Amino acid sequence: MVTEANHTVTAISKTYVKLWTLRIQDFIAHIDYRNFTAFGSLLFANVPDSVISLLESIAAGAMLTVISETMLPEAYAKGGSIVGLSTLLGFLAIIVIKSFG
């Protein structure tokens, strides 16, 4: 009897979590990002170009890391977490070569 009640409570809890997860995903999907863009434009209006370049480089490195770990699963399976770091270092090496070369 107690086991059935536990299973029922567990099933209800899982359904409740799934419902709220869907609601949160729906909320995030419908956010108007133009407001954040305007805020960013105001926040970074007087920032030097070197700071913007640094932030863009960090963002590009983060994107490359995510791509290398998700889009290249075979390489990640064989190389482990070092794949993301090596891709980032390769990207930075190309930036250095292009900047000074």
- Asked if residues 87 and 80 have their Cβ atoms less than 8 Å apart, the reply is no
- Asked if residues 91 and 63 have their Cβ atoms less than 8 Å apart, the reply is no
Q: How many CB atoms lie within 10 A of CB 89?
A: 12
pLDDT tens digits for 21-76?
A: 888 878 877 777 777 777 878 888 898 989 888 988 898 888 877 876 777 777 77
* Amino acid identity, position 5: A
Residue 70 is inside which H or E element, if any? Answer: helix 49-70
Q: How far apart are CA 57 and CA 4, in angstroms?
A: 55
More confident residue, 28 or 4: 28
